[in-house]
Amino acid sequence: MNQLFYTVINYLDIVGIALLIITLIPLRKLMHELPHGSIRKLWQILSGMILFFIATYIVIALQFRTQNDFSSKEIVCIVLFLGSLFVFLVCILSLQTARDIKRIYTLEIENITDPLMSISNRRHLDQKLEEEFSKAARYGLAFSILMIDIDRFKNVNDTYGHDTGDIVLKKLGILINALIRETDTVARHGGEEMMLLCPLTDGHHAAWLAERLRCEIEKCVMVSSDMEKEGREILVTVSIGVAEFSSDVFCVTDLVKRADEAMYQAKGEGRNRVCVYGNSPYITETYS
């Protein structure tokens, strides 16, 4: 029995080395799973420490294999083996945790994102709208919303087909996302209608942003001639209604209704323009 124990101890360091070498596989996969940022940098530092531990382990293990003092070798081999086992389990669990977090994050993004336009969906819009409205009402902060509707979008679907219409919607979502601030939220309100939430933004600056969006959308080719079977470029325009939170707005529904009315005013006055609730059509002369 003792002989078996001594044999196991004698090869325990070799098992530890094998475990540490195997650890490099999940460690490498973990580095690919982690997003760029502070967590990835910390794991890079930890990976360096693990590699140092592996090198040190091998040196010590080989050194003690040449010693005849079995009592000290026994203790060191057991300690080093437990250390290698700990490192191995930490890497395996970390890799699984990173994958689980990534999967949960992906599901959360899919749950709040419109699959066609790649912007927020109506569910997320309603939630964010309530949050931002509550902040503005509670702390007296500026808050504006933009209601954006594509002009004569039905004609695009009827003339070029729904597949082309989907391309237009997707391109429009990407374009608007590229033009707004990180603090803003653009979401699909329904059909070809979108809403943009602008926290800490008064009506004047919201109208300036709306006009900038209108101009950029007007000159952007949504579908190029080589993509369209009839060989024609497709451009669209939008009508935008702007509504600003004020003391006489008592609920989210009132604010949305004002933006909606302003948007229909823009459509009624010829489309491809910006209207602010309560004001005449607002067209800014310059923007950056």
pLDDT, greater one: 13 or 257: 257
Q: What is the mean pLDDT of residues 83-104?
A: 81
Catalytic choice (74, 110, 132, 192):
192
16-40: per-residue pLDDT in tens?
A: 777 777 877 887 887 777 777 777 7
CA distances from 171 to 153, 166, 237 (A): 14, 9, 13
pLDDT, greater one: 279 or 96: 96
The predicted pLDDT at position 139 comes to 94
Q: For residue 91, give both structure tokens.
A: 């890497």
The predicted pLDDT at position 45 comes to 82
Query: Cα–Cα distance between 265 and 10 in angstroms, integer?
Result: 86
CB 128 within 8 A of CB 197: yes
Nearest to 271 by CA among 191, 151, 154, 157: 151
**Residues of the chain with pLDDT > 90: what percent?**
50
Residue 197 in this model has a pLDDT that exceeds 90: yes
Whether 192 is catalytic is yes
CA distances from 20 to 14, 47, 82, 99, 136 (A): 10, 12, 11, 21, 55
Cite the residue boundaries of each domain of the chain with CATH code 3.30.70.270: 122-276
pLDDT band at 10 (very low <50, low <70, confident <90, very high): low
| pTM greater than the 0.85 cutoff | no
The predicted pLDDT at position 253 comes to 95
pLDDT, greater one: 8 or 265: 265
Q: What is the mean pLDDT of residues 113-130?
A: 94
The predicted pLDDT at position 181 comes to 92
Q: Which residue has the tokens 């819009």?
A: 125
Q: Of the spans 69-73, 101-105, 158-162, 176-180, which averages the highest pLDDT? A: 176-180
CB 4 within 8 A of CB 69: no
Q: Give the chain's mean pLDDT.
A: 83
Q: What is the mean pLDDT of residues 202-223?
A: 94
**Residues of the chain with pLDDT > 70: what percent?**
82
User: If you classify domain 122-276 with CATH, what class do you get?
Assistant: alpha beta
The predicted pLDDT at position 65 comes to 62
What sign results for the dihedral spanned by CA atoms 259, 265, 269, 270?
A: positive
CA atoms within 13 A on the CB side of 76: 19
Q: What is the mean pLDDT of residues 127-146?
A: 96
The predicted pLDDT at position 173 comes to 95
pLDDT band at 285 (very low <50, low <70, confident <90, very high): very low
The predicted pLDDT at position 286 comes to 33
The predicted pLDDT at position 288 comes to 33
